[in-house]
Amino acid sequence: MKDKFFKYIHELQDTISSKLEAVDGKAKFQEDIWKRPEGGGGRTRVIENGNVFEKGGVNISGVHGKLPDSMQKYFGVEDADFFACGLSLVLHPKNPMIPTVHANWRYFEMYDKDGNIVDQWFGGGQDLTPYYLFDEDAKHFHQTCKIACDKHNTEFYPKYKARCDEYFYNAHRNEGRGLGGLFFDYCKSSEDMSMQNWYDFVTEVGDSFLEAYVPIVEKRKTLEYTKPQRDWQEIRRGRYVEFNLVHDKGTLFGLKTNGRIESILMSLPPHVQWVYDHHPEKGSEEERLIKVLQEPKNWI
């Protein structure tokens, strides 16, 4: 399973990065191949200063070795080895009318001291973080997520949509990071779903990503915007940074397992503001966004 999924994310990285370069029309991904001293490595691809994308990354990694003590305590195990692989992407467009997007699809195995698999699971998801709210974009993104889920189980979309709203939540701000999407974790073999079934589901969601996001980019990339709208985008990006550094499990796992720091923190935007005690104008589009972020909506 680990070899099959690792091959899949290699191919998906190629598909996604090629399409994003075509959408941008100017910038190309810079690629870095890196190795982790304890075992494994990855292929980092970063795009910067394009026509559309100010900064973004589409990264894959496959790492293995002894599970660090802090992670052994977290999982409640002793003397465990692990293998983890996944694709993680974040795109920060230049135009504030285009939302930021994040996606991740991953697979994890844990072994005893004799090398036997003692646990394995899939996880992942994708979520949308707009700066200006176009309801039709939110509906399109969520509809695409639902179609992918419904092919496998009609209970998946409502369940994983709710988990996404719960997970991508800045508790210290009492607001969601964005409009959500899907979030699933610890997807393990059961009577209803084999690991092959989970593989089929996760790859279905991965394959749906470009359809979920690219039409939104194409629709919004030529819209005009003002300096105050750009400032608002940078203030909201600050919330994105706060979530990644305070709450995000993937960031924390990477930092605790001696991951490659440049790859882990590629999700941070290049231009960002933290304005003291900032509140949007009453009745403005900015305030409308905040109200939606404070109370998740069912978009479809």
Domain ranges of the chain: 2-294
Distance CA 89, CA 75 (A): 25
Residue 46 corresponds to which tokens in the numbers above? 């970063």
pLDDT on residue 20: 98
pLDDT on residue 72: 77
CATH 3.40.1500.10 fits 2-294, yes or no: yes
Buried b (16+ CB within 10 A) or exposed e, 144-177: bbbebbeebeeebbeebbebbbebbbbeeeebbb
What is this structure's pTM? 0.94
Catalytic residue among 10, 92, 102, 142: 102
Are the C-beta atoms of residues 59 and 45 closer than 8 Å to each other?
yes
Distance CA 233, CA 280 (A): 12
Q: Which class for 29: exposed (0-12), middle (13-18), buried (19 or more C-beta within 10 A)?
A: buried
Residue 175 corresponds to which tokens in the numbers above? 């607001």
pLDDT on residue 262: 87
- The answer to whether residue 102 is catalytic is yes
Q: Name which of 243, 265, 241 is nearest 254 in CA terms.
A: 265
Provide block-wise average pLDDT over 10 residues at a time, the chain (300 residues): 98 98 98 93 96 97 87 78 95 98 96 90 97 98 98 98 96 95 96 97 98 98 98 96 89 81 87 96 97 95
pLDDT on residue 42: 95
